[in-house]
Amino acid sequence: MNAIIQVAPCGGAPINIISKSRVTIENEAYRDSIIRSHRGFMGTLRQAYERESRRNGATSANIQLRQVSESLQAQGIGMPSTIDDDEIVTLADARSKHCAHLKNSKKSIDHKIMLASEFVEGHGFDWPIAITKKDAPGDVLKKNISALKRVSDSRWWRRNFRKSLGRQTETVARELGAVRSGKSPYVSEWAFNRFMVRQKSNRDLIERMEMVEMNTGEVVDLVAAVDASISNPSNKRDELMVRMGGWDEIAKAMDLQCLFLTLTTPSKYHALTHKGFKNKKFGGFTPKDGAEYLAKVWARIRSEWARNGIKCFGFRMCEPHADGTPHWHLSLFFSASDLADAKRIFGAHALAEDGDESGAAAYRWDCVHIDPKKGSATGYMAKYIAKNIDGHMVGHDEEGNIFADQGAARVRAWASTWGIRQFQQIGCASVTVWRELRRRRDPLDLWEAQEAEAIRKAADDGDWALFVDLMGGAFSSRDDQKLKLLKPVNPELNIYGEEVSRVIGLVMRGVGRMIRTRFKVWVVQERKAPVPLSFKREASPPVLDLCQ
Report which listed range, 203-207, 485-489, 535-539, is most confident: 203-207
**Tens digits of per-residue pLDDT, 12-27?**
666 544 444 555 777 7
Amino acid at site 41: F
Q: Which pLDDT belongs to residue 115?
A: 97
Separation of alpha carbons 364 and 327, rounded Å: 9
Q: How confident is the model at residue 11 (pLDDT cuts 50, 70, 90)?
A: low
Q: Is the pLDDT of residue 2 over 80?
A: no
**Tens digits of per-residue pLDDT, 35-83?**
999 988 999 999 999 999 999 998 899 999 999 999 999 999 999 999 9
Domain boundaries, the chain: 3-71, 85-168, 233-426, 428-517
Beta carbons of 139 and 490 less than 8 angstroms apart = no
Span of 1-15, 284-298, 316-330 with lowest mean pLDDT? 1-15
Separation of alpha carbons 508 and 8, rounded Å: 97
pLDDT, average across residues 143-172: 97
Cβ neighbours of 113 (radius 10 Å) = 20
Q: Which pLDDT belongs to residue 535?
A: 42
Q: Is the pLDDT of residue 371 over 80?
A: yes
Nearest to 423 by CA among 236, 265, 226: 236
pLDDT, average across residues 374-400: 84
CATH pick for 233-426 out of 3.30.70, 3.10.20, 3.40.1360, 3.30.1360? 3.30.70
Beta carbons of 223 and 530 less than 8 angstroms apart = no
pLDDT, average across residues 90-95: 98
Give the SS3 label for residue 165: helix
Q: How confident is the model at residue 9 (pLDDT cuts 50, 70, 90)?
A: low
Residues 275-301, buried b or exposed e (16+ Cβ, 10 A)?
Answer: eeeebeebeebbbebbbebbeebbeeb
Q: Mean pLDDT over all residues of the chain? A: 89
**Tens digits of per-residue pLDDT, 207-257?**
999 999 888 889 999 999 999 988 899 999 999 999 999 999 999 999 999
Residues 240-273, buried b or exposed e (16+ Cβ, 10 A)?
Answer: bbbbbbbbbbbbeeeebbbbbbbbbbbbbbbbbe
DSSP-H helix ranges across 461-544:
464-471
What's 109-147 look like in SS3? HHHHHHHHHHHHHCCCCCCCCCCCCCCCHHHHHHHHHHH
| Percentage with pLDDT > 90 across the chain | 68
180 DSSP assignment: B
Question: Which residues are annotated as catalytic?
Answer: 380, 384
Separation of alpha carbons 43 and 318, rounded Å: 30
540 DSSP assignment: S
Beta carbons of 467 and 117 less than 8 angstroms apart = no
pLDDT, average across residues 497-510: 86
User: DSSP states of 382-451 as a string?
Assistant: HHHHHHTTT-TTT-EETTTTEEHHHHHHHHHHHHHHHT---EEEESSS-HHHHHHHHH--SPPPTTS-HH
